[in-house]
Amino acid sequence: MLKKYLSRLTSSELQRNILTLLKGSAFAQALPILCMPLLARLYTPEEFGLFTLYLSFVLSIVSVIGLRYDFAILLPKNNTIAWYLFTLSAKIITIFSIVSSIVLIAFNNQISIYLKNTQLAPWLSLVGLNLFILGLTQLTTFWFNRNKQYHNMATQRVIQSTVSNGGQIALGMGFHFGVSGLIIGNLLGQITALIYSLVHTKPAKHQKTNKKFDKINRKLLIHFKNFPIYNAPTALIDALRLNGINVLLAIFFTASTLGQFALAWRLLQSPISLINGALSQVYYQHFTQLKHLERYQFLRSCIKKSFVVGIIPFTILFVIAEPLFVIFFGKEWQQAGQICSLLVPWLFLNFITSPISSIYMVLKQEKKLLIFSIFYMLTPLSIIFFSHDSILETILYVSISMSMLLCVFIGIALHLTKTHAQN
């Protein structure tokens, strides 16, 4: 019976590619969860809050550090042109990283004072380096995806997760580094993953001379201009949404409250993002190969399957989150369990929508995606900014509002795909 089921799963190239990524991601998603009870006892809610603030700066910028030209790598038929996009993106990443370093080194004290967390100041100076590492790693991932090197993508994730979590535990146990242990451990994992990725990135052949290369770069900048014009702002807005939530929680509540939220979000989002990351990368590549009507049929199928797969585990989590957090992380993390339950509806809809969001780029509807993203960002930030309620009531309002918006997102995606198929 099991053998027959596995045979069905691997009957198509798409399913085999997804499984390849998920096999690697399964370990990478399980490890942070398994390590979290220990990490929650080695580090305080306040230290987790400061670490989350640091990551907020990194993740707000890294999503657009290549101006999204890295996303365009999958589109050219010619592998050499795709490699030129790769090198163009690498140059842009380097420039952005240097500029970010200069700005954040110059203003780290002022920023940390505004955020009411002066301990953060010295670590803000590392953000530029962190951006460079993550940006290049992300870039190699797109190159692996283009060439269907899903084993390399999976291995990259396993390496990063293993070294990051292992480093954070070692620094917390052996040296009691506090927030420094969380940041340094995370950086060690990212550096190791980057080294692996660069070693296994094989450039395309038949490259042009430097003079011709510059000319090709200018042409690529123009030809794929929709990516920086529409896609990059969309990605930046998406990044500012979550990381803006973190910043506002730190300002209007406390670093400890942010730590509670961060643990709940990490426990929920970690497996979801890894699964969705694997699915979205494979789906993006697959969407580009399908014909118009096939895209609509495939999109509907993806939504239905995600709903069926997710409804039971998310419902169970909604019911048992609070007692589970107390048992596994200790009584001081009870509020994180309450927040986790409140976030379930939002993240369930996110689980359904994230893998299919690339359909907007395939259909060249980046402008509509940008408009939706603006509303999707402003909604939670406005609720937190104007809310005078407790943290739990505030999170509840955010979760309900975002769930409703994601239902609208699904409806728009289906409508656009169906309309495109009929034309």
- Read off the pLDDT of residues 284-319 as tens digits, 9 standing for 90 and up: 666 667 677 777 787 788 888 888 888 898 999 899
Average pLDDT (397-401) is: 96
0.85 exceeded by pTM:
no
Query: Quick check: 10 pLDDT over 70?
Result: no
**Range with the lowest mean pLDDT among 168-172, 274-278, 396-400?**
274-278
pLDDT value of position 22: 64
Tokens 């807005």 correspond to 237
Quote the percentage of the chain above a pLDDT of 70: 86
CA 338 to chain centre: 24
- Read off the pLDDT of residues 42-79 as tens digits, 9 standing for 90 and up: 999 999 999 999 998 898 888 888 888 888 888 888 88
Query: Quick check: 238 pLDDT over 60?
Result: yes
Quote the percentage of the chain above a pLDDT of 90: 37
What is the Cα–Cα distance from 382 to 261, expressed in whole angstroms?
Answer: 18
- Read off the pLDDT of residues 12-53 as tens digits, 9 standing for 90 and up: 666 676 676 666 667 777 788 888 889 998 999 999 999 999
pLDDT value of position 63: 81
Query: Quick check: 11 pLDDT over 60?
Result: no
33 closest CA partner among 246, 306, 325 = 325
Angle at 319 between CA 316 and CA 320, to 5 degrees: 85
- Read off the pLDDT of residues 315-366 as tens digits, 9 standing for 90 and up: 998 999 999 999 989 889 999 999 999 999 999 998 888 767 777 777 777 7
- Read off the pLDDT of residues 81-125 as tens digits, 9 standing for 90 and up: 888 889 889 999 999 999 999 999 999 899 888 887 888 888 998
- Read off the pLDDT of residues 114-171 as tens digits, 9 standing for 90 and up: 887 888 888 998 999 999 999 999 999 999 888 888 888 888 988 999 999 999 999 9
Cα end-to-end span (Å), the chain:
43
What is the Cα–Cα distance from 207 to 220, expressed in whole angstroms?
Answer: 15
The two structure tokens encoding residue 212 = 């011709």
- Read off the pLDDT of residues 200-218 as tens digits, 9 standing for 90 and up: 988 766 555 455 656 677 7
